[in-house]
Structure 1
């Protein structure tokens, strides 16, 4: 039986991916911990701290397949210690000459925090790959719909015309910045932990600093400037980075959620035959993908707050925030992986209804083009006076239920004292009111490979 949705046979697909689940389940975590213990023994052997034959035996036997994880669980509960149960069970499968040399001088955070670093590296590989996939889908949408005119909206209401390509380009650029953040964070996050009891490496004497470097090299990680037992900014940064990524995915999901409302009908997420929206209302096609992106993002953002709380660690060791990270880091990683998979499906299969976008724009009867009208009048009466005049005309026109052109004529803003009919026609052409929108699309599409 499973208590967390990410472990559920029925619901796992909503909250994790098989790829990342293997990183954080009992077998995956234990496999990584054993790799860390073997790397530590071999680094110590290279410095004469551990007999070479003992280090070789530890490397040979530090395999999860040789352990009984149920027995590890029993010993963990019996000792009340997060690592000693594993050590006891590992010693049982080691030859006698190697048993006293495993976990030699290390402490629990040396293992668990180094595992954090390995896990963060693996998760960032997935995040970078899948963000790139989502970005490519957005770039393709931007390219394809560079000139697909639609209502731009502010405060949920129609504002000026934009193109759907412009909207997709905004998404693509934001995702691109997350890839930059991933690359920039790696040197800070992919760092071993080796501090011993209090972070001073006292146990290993003069060999301490060479051991730190050798241990990091064995794992393909960096050596920190000093141990980070109570310096939890790395985990906080990682959790915040995942929150930023899923924040963008939530934003995209919410936008698609809103624009596929039937009364707007400008977008549709991909639909799989047999997919059921409601067990009581058979007609429903719910925005499952778009909606779930926001669900996942909310939890990841909340978890980032918990990770930041862990930065207020006390003295030279504080288990409170560190143990909370054992929940935050795996859960946020699993949810982010799931969100990226759903986002890629959503964006790659997104249906764009350009005809409905144009119909919704035309249904505004020209009022979304009040700014181009105001801009033309500003050259004749001043910007603020033009705003007041167009504001009065539009408010009267909306109340009267007439189109913008009629409202402007009724207000005396078209004719000898105002705009010519040709100027009004130009001002009311949505294609002339896009500003640099298409140029920005070209910048994003052209720079997508850089």
Structure 2
């Protein structure tokens, strides 16, 4: 399809950024994951002593080949089974039933018709879907989103180390405040993002699945083979897929685990939104310069412009992602009584939320690759705001027992511009030892950064 005619910009304008997610969260990926569940479940049934089902090595290889080699042609067959009919199969108008028939037909074609009654044996669609959805979300998170976030974290660590000693005026409430270093400020974001990454990884590894039938009671399985320990079978099967087992459910696997994953992604996005906005402000203050791209236009009317568009684009996409993640987390954790289908269409939008995340991550990383500190501008701004050493002065005077230390500096600097000369004049009039006077005279805005450099280097 021509991307210019895509309904969503995720597959249109931004398709080149979201392409890595297609293998994990597209409709074809959902089909493939469902085939994997059906195939592996059939093999697990054959391994039960209680069932007469026998599957030779060739049949097992055929079944596993259905999902391991799943391609566009297979996806087209399943879609035809659902909406048009295929071969002798009438249209199912049911996407999971279409997958069942796809697997059954493959068995027939390979000479294993006797195994077809066991495909989807005792299952409800939600048994397949809840597992398939997590088989999509887990690798999409671990193989696409987490590496993208980690690249940003690593870039911030590099900034922290490279500019650990680069002094910079801080601003609290938008006003000049105690100086810091650019490296230390980037270290703060690197540390925050590292903690957020750990939360995402824990959430992805903790995704859980159920396989307990239409009301979560194993009823169909139990009536067929009451002697089998079906909860144990379910636990072994679900964990073999790399998921944790949830043994007590309705027809629906409660999506608390997915909500935890969505919340962890949102936490990381919030860190990056904060970063995007701060970088935007640093660019506005000329603290950060931006690399120009040959031939690129910054403004349609102002030729000189180099806009921080990557950070703005990231901000917009991460905000959209967070809105979607909140909605998804709130919605998928409820279901009327034992089951209603309102969540089915909602869950199809998980990929879209992930896609907005990925675009945001790619844009932030691209933006960071194009900025560098203007150290001269930072130093100039520091020198233009010498009043920021007031905190240092009053703290030293407090140490020396001056009861009016804070008030002296307040009178000198609050609401007005105090120069270094003003401070030095004050120092000369103070009743302090010469050692203390020299200590005060040595204070400069650029030198008053505490242990910022060490903090940055330690991240």
CA distance in 2, matches of 1:270, 1:211: 59
CA distance in 2, matches of 1:83, 1:293: 36
CA distance in 2, matches of 1:270, 1:315: 57
Deviation of 1:38 after TM superposition, in Å, equals 0.7
TM-score normalised over the length of structure 1:
0.85
Deviation of 1:332 after TM superposition, in Å, equals 2.1
Deviation of 1:236 after TM superposition, in Å, equals 0.6
Could you tell me which residue of structure 2 aligns to residue 71 of structure 1? 80
| Matches for 1:137-152 after TM superposition, within 5 Å | 137-152=155-170
Contact 1:397 1:403 in 2 (8 A): no
Could you tell me which residue of structure 2 aligns to residue 447 of structure 1? none
Q: 2:262 matched to 1:239?
A: yes
Worse-matched range after superposition: 112-121 or 337-346: 337-346
CA distance in 2, matches of 1:135, 1:102: 46
Cα distance change of structure 1 residues 53 and 251 upon mapping to structure 2, 3 Å threshold: same
Q: 2:343 matched to 1:342?
A: no
Deviation of 1:100 after TM superposition, in Å, equals 2.9
Q: 2:53 matched to 1:51?
A: yes
CA distance in 2, matches of 1:159, 1:177: 27
Contact 1:397 1:407 in 2 (8 A): no
CA distance in 1, matches of 2:195, 2:415: 45
Q: 2:177 matched to 1:173?
A: no
| Matches for 1:119-130 after TM superposition, within 5 Å | 119-125=136-142, 126-130=144-148
Q: 2:334 matched to 1:280?
A: no
Deviation of 1:422 after TM superposition, in Å, equals 3.0
Could you tell me which residue of structure 2 aligns to residue 319 of structure 1? 341
| Matches for 1:209-358 after TM superposition, within 5 Å | 209-227=231-249, 229-261=252-284, 264-310=285-331, 311-321=333-343, 323-327=345-349, 329-358=350-379
CA distance in 2, matches of 1:270, 1:243: 30
Q: 1:12 aligns with which of 12, 15, 37?
A: 15
Cα distance change of structure 1 residues 404 and 72 upon mapping to structure 2, 3 Å threshold: farther
* Matched residue count: 429
Query: 1:241-276: per-residue Cα shift (whole Å, max 9, x none)?
Result: 111122222222111111111xx1111344432222
Q: Secondary structure at the match of 1:427?
A: coil
Q: CA RMSD in A?
A: 2.9
Contact 1:192 1:216 in 2 (8 A): yes
Worse-matched range after superposition: 245-254 or 73-82: 73-82
CA distance in 1, matches of 2:64, 2:51: 16
CA distance in 1, matches of 2:94, 2:278: 47
Could you tell me which residue of structure 1 aligns to residue 392 of structure 2? 372
Unaligned runs of 5+ in 2: 223-227
CA distance in 2, matches of 1:135, 1:88: 46
Deviation of 1:149 after TM superposition, in Å, equals 0.4
Deviation of 1:152 after TM superposition, in Å, equals 1.2
Q: 2:101 matched to 1:84?
A: no
Deviation of 1:287 after TM superposition, in Å, equals 0.8
Could you tell me which residue of structure 1 aligns to residue 225 of structure 2? none
TM-score normalised over the length of structure 2:
0.84
Q: Secondary structure at the match of 2:352?
A: helix
Query: 1:374-425: per-residue Cα shift (whole Å, max 9, x none)?
Result: 2123235656x43233222213643xxx52542674xx56514479763442
Cα distance change of structure 1 residues 416 and 356 upon mapping to structure 2, 3 Å threshold: closer
Contact 2:123 2:211 in 1 (8 A): yes
Cα distance change of structure 1 residues 24 and 128 upon mapping to structure 2, 3 Å threshold: closer
Contact 1:75 1:85 in 2 (8 A): no
| Matches for 1:88-127 after TM superposition, within 5 Å | 88-95=101-108, 96-125=113-142, 126-127=144-145
Could you tell me which residue of structure 2 aligns to residue 34 of structure 1? 35
CA distance in 2, matches of 1:39, 1:270: 52
Contact 1:37 1:111 in 2 (8 A): yes
Q: Secondary structure at the match of 1:83?
A: helix
Cα distance change of structure 1 residues 307 and 61 upon mapping to structure 2, 3 Å threshold: closer
Worse-matched range after superposition: 136-145 or 123-132: 123-132
CA distance in 2, matches of 1:58, 1:211: 20
Unaligned runs of 5+ in 1: 445-450
Q: 2:451 aligns with which of 424, 436, 440?
A: 436
